[in-house]
Amino acid sequence: MTSEIKRRPVLRTLGLIAALAGGGAQAQDPYARERAALLQEIAAMARDTGAETGRPVFGARVMAAMAKVPRHRFVPALYGSMAYANRPLPIGHGQTISQPYIVALMTDLLDLKPGDAVLEIGTGSGYQAAVLAELVDRVYSIEIIEPVGKDSAALLRQLGYKNIETRIGDGYNGWLERSPFDAIIVTAAAPQVPPALVAQLKPGGRMVIPVGRESDVQFLHVMVKQADGSISTQRSLPVRFVPLTRNK
């Protein structure tokens, strides 16, 4: 759900990327080389933006999740040839699937642990939820646009993600019945951080959310809830997301 951010190609490959590009992998997976090239570009961008994000290298678990999730299953057939391009793509209803680098960055900024429960606001295509599901115990994802939410829920079930629970609703209010959460990720931009999401975050939990109006410069905010309930916030990269919509 973001605008494209481009950086120069990386000059070296990771062991994971080299393995994906191998002949055996290519024979079994026709997208292996494209996925390997995408991971290489994500690693390059992480290095190039590290001074701004504090994350010059993304964690091995995050990169492994990005390598595993089949992005081509989450994009419309019309854009299948661009599934592993490092750019957002339309998915209909005025929504997009986010740029893979941004997905990896936001995931890495959450500092996820295997036993965590994560709330995602804005299921969209389901791609971000799938990446999260590779890393944590439970993912709860809310989508306000009913046909988008139903399609992504069906796809996630088809792909075998049994640790993702979805619902149609207004993500601004969070998901009180499943709270508190170890981490919250918001994939649409809000003018201000929704108070309900702050309230539903566990002490020690982290939230990554783009903040800013559609007509303004938006920035990723990384928020950490302290033991006393106070919030520390760090501003990261400028981004461009679709707006967080509300039920009328």
Domains of the chain in sequence order? 15-239 (3.40.50.150)
In terms of DSSP bridges, do strands 117-121 and 181-186 run parallel, antiparallel, or are they unpaired?
Answer: parallel
pLDDT reported for residue 149: 97
98 is catalytic: yes
How far is it, in rounded angstroms, from Cα 39 to Cα 215? 31
Backbone angles phi, psi at 72, to 5 degrees: -65, -20
> Which regions of the chain are under pLDDT 50?
1, 3-4, 6-13, 21-22, 25
Please give the model's pTM, rounded to 2 decimal places: 0.89
Backbone angles phi, psi at 200, to 5 degrees: -90, 5
Q: Which of 3, 98, 125, 215 is catalytic?
A: 98
pLDDT reported for residue 12: 42
Task: Classify residue 201 by its DSSP letter.
Answer: E
pLDDT reported for residue 13: 40
Give the distance between the most distant pair of CA atoms in the chain. 54
As given in the structure block, the two tokens for residue 135 are 């890393």
pLDDT reported for residue 214: 77
- Mapping DSSP to helix (H, G, I), strand (E, B) and coil, where does residue 242 land? coil
Q: How far is CA 121 from the centre of its chain?
A: 10
